[in-house]
Amino acid sequence: MIDNEKDGMSPESRMKLKLLIGLGIVALLAGGTTFLLTRSGPDRAETAAPVERPPEQPEPSAAELAATQRRANKLALAADYISSGEYERALNLIDEVLIEDASDEEARTLKESALREQRAAREAARAAEARESRDPELATRQAELETRRLEAEARREEARLAVQQQLAEQQAAEEQRRREEAERAEAERQAELARLDQQERQKTEEVQSLLATVPDLLGREDYTRLRSNMDRALSIPLGDQRMENRLHGSALAAKARSYVEEDVTSPRNRQEAIRLANEALQRSGDLWEAHYSLGEVYNATERFDDAIQAFSAAARINPDSAAVLYALAQAQYRAGEFRAARTSYEGCVRIEPGYRNAYHNLGLTNLQLRDEARALEAFRFAVEVRPRDHASWYRIGLILSDRDDTEGARQAFQQAIGIQANDWRYHYRLAVVYFRENNLDRAEQSFRRSLEIQPQNALTNYNLAQVLSEKQRYQEALPLIRRAISIDGTRREFHFTLGQIEEGLGNIDAAIAAHATAVQRDSRYTEALVEMGRLLNDVGSADQAMQILLQAYRQSPNDFGVNLNLGRVYLELEMYDRATEHLQAAVSAEPNDARGHYNLALAHIEAERFDRAERSLNDVMRIDSRFWAAYHRLGEVHVARGKSAEAKNVLQQLLSSNPDYAQRSAVESILASL
């Protein structure tokens, strides 16, 4: 007597094959309204009525258009709130629309839908509370989960506040340093000018004035005028040779910089930049700008060692430049010198926290160094200084997802999508989080959005097929898994999932063939062998099933699914001792899985070891109080042992707890005979 509904893999493991494959994670809603245009009235008219043109309608005003758009936005947002279970917020928005127009049919329909779903959610919550009250362990687990959620939320808030405080302190210190540096530089300039006679001072001030135009001209990309100004500066001789070398060297360095900024990919520009930078350094070796331009040229041509040397020289001369340290870090990162790059990025953000995407790159560098904690900290700083840094929000989501902080991950991915909605990865990762939270509707919606952006992604097609399979929408899942296989037919998991979907559609031969293909992709794919064996046994091919499952057993002798299904095959073949051996192994592998104990009880029953069968069935009911078939079998065992009172008690308990039990008539027949 075999319960074929209890197979070798749990529903969770069968229908929720891990989404996370590949790089650690496989990871990983098209909506609309169909309008049916119908005709009303008689099929045929005696005379044709003249067609009247509608009166001309005035163009809506800007205010009317704005009101229409606000209404549409409110209803769209309300629909979104309904789908996420936030019914009160949805109803508030709908009521705002109805206050403006109580006859708005679309709003009234949406309100009815919200109220209907709210009632259903409340009933489900009450049912869950009732189940929890009957199951203290479940209530305890729920409380533990809520405690962990609150602790994770508190940690995120604490980290956010710490980031804000540190950034404020950094900014204040940097502003003070810059003021002091500007005051010092101006004092030095004035002191130098004071030592000169009037004519020499005028010439020096003219050169300095021309040099002062460089930042503005670079910012406006006016390279022609910049070079003209620098040529003019170079044409002015100065009596102080040291002063002339420094100022003329600065002019040469500025010209070099102009060629880099204009187009560093141009060979001519690179040659000019190198020539001018070297001339500048011959005039004055402490010109950091010249070293910086050389570094930019070398970096562009992937001469990373030379670039690092040039940027390092610039950093020694000007250690307080965020731009120099950032460029040095970039070159070090590209050269694979990640520890050095981290140091340079940290120096950059100490000087200027919001400099370009330095904090984001610091996070990436820490990931290269496998320092996830410091990476998360860097990405949090990144979004604090640049709130629209969607790439950093995405990275935060990935790290929190790896830490099983699904709430934090979900919020981070939603932030990323709110800023950049057209990146398929963001929707994909959000879908994976929803799946892990068992929010299948949202998972489906996000996977579909990801597919809209990147329809030929094999993993997204695969994972959406998984979600639809979980929802038992096998017909919709089938073309998706087939598309995934057409894109990448090498992945064994794709064929395994095809087998599950074909089984869901009742195509058992196709399911077996798909699992066989999965095994062809990987002969040690135990899960596929187990599924093949289970299906073959279910269709009456026990001998073939045994051969397949023995192959799986040789590979994984302690696997629960292998031993459970091999035990069931031996039960089918009436080889009860072998069945018992494998089913006991299944129970040892997963002592809290009721199916192992139940099938072991069946083996004991068939071998007429009723005392052992009774113990195994009691174990089933202890593990799963709703495993109704165990009550039925236990009643039969009590009858076989002549324990009529016990049989009557357990069978009445079965019918009382589950009035719709599928084999109720058989149970009633037993009770009538007692």
Identify the pLDDT of residue 659.
Answer: 93
Identify the pLDDT of residue 569.
Answer: 96
Fold that domain 67-125 belongs to in CATH: Methane Monooxygenase Hydroxylase; Chain G, domain 1 (1.20.58)
Backbone angles phi, psi at 16, to 5 degrees: -125, 55
CB proximity list for 459: less than 8 A, separation 6 or greater: 21, 22, 26, 27, 28, 428, 484
Report the distance separating Cα 397 and Cα 25, nearest Å.
12
Contact 114, 94 (CB under 8 A): yes
Give per-residue pLDDT as tens, 423-462: 999 999 999 999 999 999 999 999 999 999 999 999 999 9
* Residues of each domain in the chain carrying CATH 1.25.40: 200-300
Contact 202, 420 (CB under 8 A): no
Identify the pLDDT of residue 71.
Answer: 75
Contact 381, 359 (CB under 8 A): yes
Report the distance separating Cα 289 and Cα 315, nearest Å.
10
Identify the pLDDT of residue 119.
Answer: 74
Among residues 634, 654, 655, 662, which one has the least CA distance to residue 646? 634
Identify the pLDDT of residue 94.
Answer: 79
If one counts every other C-beta atom within 10 angstroms of the C-beta of residue 641, the result is: 14
CB proximity list for 504: less than 8 A, separation 6 or greater: 469, 472, 474, 477
Give per-residue pLDDT as tens, 302-317: 999 999 999 999 999 9
Identify the pLDDT of residue 65.
Answer: 59
Question: What radius of gyration do the chain's Cα atoms show?
Answer: 37
Residue 39 CB burial class (10 angstroms; 0-12, 13-18, ≥19): exposed
Q: What are the C-alpha distances in Å from 586 to residues 3, 175, 543, 557, 558?
A: 16, 68, 21, 10, 8
Report the distance separating Cα 602 and Cα 586, nearest Å.
14
Question: Which CATH class for the 200-300 domain?
Answer: mainly alpha
Contact 287, 253 (CB under 8 A): yes
* Residues of each domain in the chain carrying CATH 1.20.58: 67-125
Six-digit token pair at 223? 């390279």
Identify the pLDDT of residue 552.
Answer: 95
The residue behind tokens 């898994």 is: 481
- Cβ density class 260-294: b for 16+ within 10 Å, e for less: bbbebeeeebbebbbebbebbbebbeebbbbbbbb
Identify the pLDDT of residue 105.
Answer: 78
Residues of the chain with pLDDT under 70: 1-69, 73, 84, 99, 122-175, 177-178, 180-197
The one-character DSSP state at 49 is P
